[in-house]
Structure 1
Amino acid sequence: MDYFQNQINEWSDWQAVQNTPTAFEPLLHQIYLSENEPFKTPEIVTDDFAAVFNIGPTQIAIFPPANVAPNTRDRYQTERFSLTRMTRLQLTAPQLLHAGFIFDSYQFYYVIYRPLMGTPVAEFVETAEPLAKSTLGRQIGAVLAQLDGEVASFNQVDARALSDQANWQQLGANFAADRDAYLAGHPATPNCFVHGDLTGDNLVVTPGQVGLQHFQLAMQAPRQAELVPLVLQAFAWDADLLQGFRETYGVSDLASELLMGLLWRADGPAYIQHLMANQYPVTLAQVAARLQTILPVE
């Protein structure tokens, strides 16, 4: 018997059904039965990639089938590895309960976990006092100083290859060559664990320690790559957050570290365009100067 009855031939088919609890409910019920977990009516949780549902006190992410998402197994393994790593390091993250796959009309990978209970950083900082923000910055710095260490390979993502394939020419005719020269002259440790998507929604203020969630885009990369979404999006250059972060993350020249992170990321050109207010052309020296203006050495 196939518990999932919808046809998925292309990515748009998956998008059309991933937020439909009734389409997944028989499949979800069977998964929870096999894992000996109590089942309740599923509630939608919005996600860009997986079909995610709250079921009682737990949350389940079902990954799209491989015929429309060739990297689905890789993303499943990355989430599983990352949650296990967070537990081993005694850092705050969703508690992984089960992970596996079910053979149905398609092979679906899934993870079941207890989600974080708290306030996303994006919401917290809207009303937080300066002291609360600097304290939060210190907590985030301490967590990342522990998390972003060297690890063995855990997925198929080649961060440098992806960044080399990005369209650096859109920033100016000489930018790609200048980037290559800069990276050649400034070697970085390429095999650190990097969450990769530390936006204000993926950092959660909990009653204890700040927590991290949504690890599907984690990769091996220089730890500087972690700083880009963190500083530009989650912190949005907030001085109090940055002050606390500097104290525990162990970096004095944050501007240079951030420049390295920008040049190592596949989405670096887009971040730089936003940073430079869509100036064209832009030089690497201008980007470095802009960062030094915003983040002077302390």
Structure 2
Amino acid sequence: MKQFFHGKIENWSDWGCVFQSIPAFDGLIREIFRREALPCSGISNLTPGTNAVFRVGDYVIKIFFPMESGLDPLPDFQNEAAVCGRLADLDVPMPRLVAQGEIQDSYHFYYLISEYFRGQEAGNFLSTASREQKLDFIQQLQRLLQLLNRPADGLIAPVDLLDRAVNNPRLDKLPSSLAKEMRQRARSLLLSPRVLVHGDLTGENLLVDRNGRLAVIDCADACLAPSWYELAPLVIELFRCDAELLRAFSEGNPLPFLKQTLDSLCLHDFGASLLLELQKREKIKFTHLEEVEKFLLGRVS
């Protein structure tokens, strides 16, 4: 039997070495597009994430890590496919999902194919945006969140948010005093009502076309959570704590916004990683939540 994928995957390290390799995936991608009756040309890399993502002409294909990597890809595949379908029904601006499926080759791969959105990553756009462009971006983002953050019981498997937050191994990279306070705050949070959240609204997962129109991509981290769960990646990574963006988004109510941002950092799966990123970028060190609060308050007020 002909093999279309050319690479070896026996663990997560192997996947990390091969998941951006066009030579490894070229034959597999062409076979998938043949089966889906889609034109296949010009395979190129896109911003790397967890899965193998490539641009193929007017399309984007995401190929999920196989079982041999050490993780089960099926929950992530089912989760993202279901969320993409729901967001399309809600008219959330995003590239249209064209095909989804699985292929048995040397490994069992799941895949999603969507239209390619012609635009730039929001992080790059905001780094040079004028004040007017930033305000328009915020207004679009708020409308997008109003569409997205709606009840969706039964759409995807529920996650034990509190258990994941309290036992998150990423907290071990923070000072013990800060990690302890984040666990304590997470235990005190009211986690209802829960709505559908994207969960990873970063500068890479929001795109802006040449007319300034916004679109969201990559729903792999979507879950059912309080709407404020969105704030941690949004504030730290998308906005990069930019004062104009924070003030526009908080709409003159900095204290409730700040409280929910801290709540999000303590509950979010990547809250600790975002704080480490912020410390490195700003050349500061946090040992207590009060210091994080003071820093953010200085930006938003």
TM-score by length of 2: 0.85
1:222, 1:261 within 8 Å by CA — same for their partners in 2? no
Residue 59 of structure 1: how far off its partner (Å):
1.4
Equivalent runs, 1:39-54 vs 2, <5 Å = 39-54=40-55
Instruction: Find 2:259's aligned residue among 245, 256, 260.
Output: 256
Q: Deviations over 1:158-178 (max 9, x none)?
A: 332221112557655555554
Q: Deviations over 1:44-86 (max 9, x none)?
A: 3342322222222111111121121423222222221222122
Instruction: Find 1:216's aligned residue among 213, 220, 223.
Output: 220
2:122, 2:207 within 8 Å by CA — same for their partners in 1? yes
Partner amino acid for 1:66?
M
Residue 150 of structure 1: how far off its partner (Å):
2.6
Distance across 2 between alignment mates of 1:84 and 1:142: 19
Residue 252 of structure 1: how far off its partner (Å):
6.7
1:141, 1:244 within 8 Å by CA — same for their partners in 2? no
Distance across 2 between alignment mates of 1:187 and 1:22: 49
Distance across 2 between alignment mates of 1:18 and 1:184: 37
Q: Which consecutive residues of structure 2, in runs of 5 or more, have no partner in the other structure?
A: none
Corresponding position of 1:187: 190
* SS of the residue 2:114 aligns to: strand
Q: Deviations over 1:248-278 (max 9, x none)?
A: 9x98721011011011023323434555665
Equivalent runs, 1:129-168 vs 2, <5 Å = 129-153=130-154, 154-155=156-157, 157-166=159-168, 168=171
Q: CA RMSD of the aligned region, Å?
A: 2.8
Distance across 2 between alignment mates of 1:11 and 1:174: 31
Q: Among the aligned pairs, what percent are the same residue?
A: 29
2:60, 2:113 within 8 Å by CA — same for their partners in 1? yes
Residue 225 of structure 1: how far off its partner (Å):
1.9
Partner amino acid for 2:234?
L
Residue 126 of structure 1: how far off its partner (Å):
2.6
* SS of the residue 1:126 aligns to: helix
Instruction: Find 1:241's aligned residue among 218, 241, 245.
Output: 245
Residue 110 of structure 1: how far off its partner (Å):
0.4
Corresponding position of 1:266: 269
Distance across 2 between alignment mates of 1:256 and 1:111: 37
TM-score by length of 1: 0.86
Corresponding position of 1:18: 19
Corresponding position of 2:232: 228
Pair 289,49 (structure 1): closer, same or farther in 2 beyond 3 Å: closer
Partner amino acid for 1:287?
V
- Between 1:19-28 and 1:219-228, the stretch displaced more is 19-28
1:56 and 2:60 aligned: no
Distance across 1 between alignment mates of 2:204 and 2:33: 27
* SS of the residue 2:69 aligns to: coil
Equivalent runs, 1:2-41 vs 2, <5 Å = 2-41=3-42
Residue 38 of structure 1: how far off its partner (Å):
1.8
How many residue pairs align between the two structures? Answer: 294
Equivalent runs, 1:102-141 vs 2, <5 Å = 102-141=103-142
Corresponding position of 1:97: 98
- Between 1:76-85 and 1:258-267, the stretch displaced more is 76-85
- Between 1:65-74 and 1:285-294, the stretch displaced more is 285-294
